Homo-oligomer: A and B are copies of this chain.
Amino acid sequence: MAKIPALQRPATILDVAEAAGVSKSTVSLVLQGSPLIREETAAKVREVAASIGYVYNRRAAQLRNQSSNVIGVVINDLMNPFFTEVLVGIERRLAQEGFITFMAHTDESVELQSKVLHSMREQNAAGIVLCPALGTPASLVKEVQAWGIPLIVMVRPLGKGSYDYAGSDNASGTLMATKHLLDAGHRRVGFLGGQSGPVYDDRLAGYRDALRAHRMKTDPALICQSLPTRQGGYEALQRLLDVKPMATSAVCYNDITALGALAALGERGVIVGRDFSIVGFDGVLDTAHSNPPLTTVDIRPGSLGEAAAGLMLERLSHPGAARLRYLATPKLLLRASA
């Protein structure tokens, strides 16, 4: 047995080399699993390393290497379970591939977002996955790209420039949802919640298209904007109920506004699914057990996150490849609310 000196400071590759009676090059090669080293020697080195409590210092290795296995993930709104599920999907996939995640929550603050992006750059993130905060200027894309750090933009497009993107086909989703309500006989269909922006505009466009396909014109009074939160949906629904002639159903900007709407309807004693129909958008897991369970346009948030991570991995291995793009295909999930 090699002697096992009690070390004050953390053991380094040099300590392992000494204890194992080999050179530090050898130790380094063993730790990297190089085939250059005889298995017998490698086993000995690993054993000694474990016995003296050696811990690989990945940051030192990566400094030398000019590499990084850290991916920055920037999320705008974790209070919305949609983004949480997206985050979980991203992290799951990245962890599988041996990456580790720098996570930052911007809470829709463009200033904070800028700070964390710079911080991730200083920390040598190998790539950045960004769900942009509301109001993020399209110029941010070029800025980050100029850093030479691979960037995947998620959920919210950022201008017409060229960048890797993972999102969903929003217009076809709301088209599908609205058509479902119209086919069921509804003639007064509201569009509930959300605020202007690329995602909102596409979802609203799908709603309008469905009405047009049924030779109906859209009544602006039925479009009630709000913050994309439960509270927002709750308030927007109150406003919608004041519109005459009465709406009998609504397509919602997203699931949490729909959940807020459910609360508002429940409060008034309206039985959702019978007296009033609600369709959400996102396919958040919570909707399976809301009261009542929510019919929603499912874009599978978890898979969307995994797909975004997949794009990142793809981009990292092919830096020069053409622009990458993932668009989730929406699927209508029928439940009790509509």
Residues of B within 8 A of A62 (CB): 59
Across-interface contacts of A84 in B (CB, < 8 A): 78-79, 81, 84
Contact of A105 with B by CB under 8 A = yes
Residue pair B95, A88 in contact (C-beta under 8 Å) = no
Is A290 among interface residues, defined by CB-CB distance under 8 A? yes
Chain B residues, CB < 8 A from A293? 263
Residues of chain B lying within 8 A (CB to CB) of residue A291 = 262-263, 265-267, 290-291
Find chain B residues with CB under 8 A from A88 CB: 78-79, 105, 107
Contact indicator B292/A267 (Cβ below 8 Å) = yes
The answer to whether the Cβ of A122 comes within 8 Å of any Cβ in the partner chain is yes
A236 within 8 A of partner (CB): no
Instruction: Report the bound CA distance from A119 to B70 in whole Å.
Output: 11
Nearest CB in chain B to that of A286: its residue: B230
A59 to B64: give the CA distance in the assembly, Å: 11
Contact residues, A118-153 vs B (CB, 8 A): 119-124, 147-148
Contact of A92 among B105, B285, B336 (CB under 8 A): B105
Residues of B within 8 A of A263 (CB): 289-293
* Distance (whole angstroms) from the CB of A66 to the closest CB of chain B: 9
A105 and B336 alpha carbons, distance in the complex (Å): 32
Answer whether residue A100 sits at the interface, using C-beta atoms and an 8 A cutoff: yes
CA distance A321 to B6 in the complex (A): 25
Q: Is the CB of A59 within 8 A of B55?
A: no
Top-4 shortest CB links A-B? A103-B103, A266-B291, A230-B289, A263-B289
Interface residues of A (CB under 8 A from B): 10, 55-60, 62-63, 70, 73, 78-79, 81, 84-85, 87-88, 91-92, 95, 100-105, 107, 112, 115-116, 119-124, 147-148, 230-231, 233-234, 259-260, 262-263, 265-267, 285-286, 288-293, 336
Interface CB pairs A-B, < 8 A, 23: A55-B122, A56-B122, A59-B62, A59-B123, A60-B63, A78-B84, A79-B88, A79-B285, A88-B107, A91-B103, A92-B107, A95-B104, A95-B116, A100-B116, A100-B119, A101-B104, A102-B102, A103-B103, A230-B285, A230-B286, A265-B291, A266-B291, A266-B292
